[in-house]
Amino acid sequence: MNTNPFASYLTRVDSAAPLLNLSETELARLKSPDHILMQDIEVERDTGETTRLHAYRVQFNNARGPYKGGIRFHPGADLDEVKALAAAMAVKCAVVNIPMGGGKGGVQFDPKQYSPAEIDRVARAFVRAFAEHLGPESDVPAPDVYTNAHIMDTMLDEYEKIIGQSSPAMITGKTLDRGGIVGRDTATAQGGAFVLQELIPPRNTPEQPRVAIQGFGNAGATMARILADNGFKIVAISDSKGGIYSANGIDPIAVLEHKERTGVLNAKGATTITNTELLECECDILIPAALDNQLTEENAAHVKAHTILELANGPTTPEADAIFSSRAIMVIPDVLANAGGVTVSYFEWLQNKEGRTWDTSEVQTRLAEIMRTSAQAVRAMADEKKVTLREAAFLLGLRRIVDALRAPRL
């Protein structure tokens, strides 16, 4: 079974290539990062000792605009995963038709073993290492695993010290005081909800669709609340420790309050299930919102949902995709389903460049328009080419990237 995330990306590019009439040069551009930047950074610990950490930034493709993508602080992120995420960002931005490219990066260390002051020093060292490659018109980072708005503020502060002027558009995901945007924390889930409501097949969906959500972090918990508020029945929720199921429905707000008090998921009348059991439970809509490679050839035949919405990055392997296609299960792919986050990051970049502040109404209206229009375009491509939504999304995104590659440079 192939679970290498970058190999999965290459498989999907190869599948799309015959329909795109690509030259060898264009195919190579779609398969290889433009730049892999790597540097060891030195960070002073609170003890006065100095440690060296491996830092990197993968700039995958900027044919449509500045590289865009998160910075993660994590001990185990490998280059294949980061390349896959950077490539997916390029496709994702093209699918929702915003003028950004794809990038990803990070520092290999365990932030849980570092003090807040030490983490700030790591953030500043990262910016010093790569400042010449970053900027509003070249590469615009954002938060990712174990990074947050405070860290983005710190990175912006260091960048502005280096260049000697204000430059809020060089990074997104900041606090509101430093030029962040309202709605960024809920954007991934809200964008996914707009897409789901646009694409959900009405003919085999009950009046109150049953939803199972794997992952109860920010995106999963927010999605549960949004869907419950819109008449969906949440029947299963899980986090890294396990999950709960109730055919009668679960109140996600009550579950979140209980988890914040006790650290565990629980709900009145619910039974305990494993994450594996959640993927195979009785539901209409399954939403993987946690880790990659969760839906595989081992469990795809046992999934009972008729619709899968990928709020996580890369939760479905190509082998599972083939099984879902043969079973007529609709998979709404990550490059469309979770693109609300980067879309609102784009709005933040725009508001910083324009020197004005967007309000909640403007953010929500623009997000709904982009996500619904993008969902319609992917569905139209799927109908035209007689392919799955994932194949259609890759065709649409890659075609837009190739069109930009072919366009004359000014």
Q: Which residues form the catalytic set?
A: 104
Q: Is the sign of the CA dihedral 173, 391, 298, 223 positive or negative?
A: positive
What whole-number distance in Å separates Cα of residue 364 and Cα of residue 322? 35
Q: At what angle do helices 340-354 and 187-199 cross, to 10 degrees?
A: 120
Q: What is the DSSP letter of 109?
A: S
Contact 292, 4 (CB under 8 A): no
Contact 292, 312 (CB under 8 A): yes
* Nearest Cα residue to 103 out of 124, 121, 130: 130
**What is the chain's alpha carbon radius of gyration, rounded to the nearest angstrom?**
21
- How large is the greatest C-alpha to C-alpha distance in the chain, in angstroms? 65
Coil, strand or helix: which one is 404? helix
DSSP secondary structure of 171-216: --S--GGGT--TTGGGHHHHHHHHHHHHH--GGG--SS-EEEEE--
What whole-number distance in Å separates Cα of residue 120 and Cα of residue 151? 7
72, β-bridge pairs: 106
What whole-number distance in Å separates Cα of residue 126 and Cα of residue 159? 10
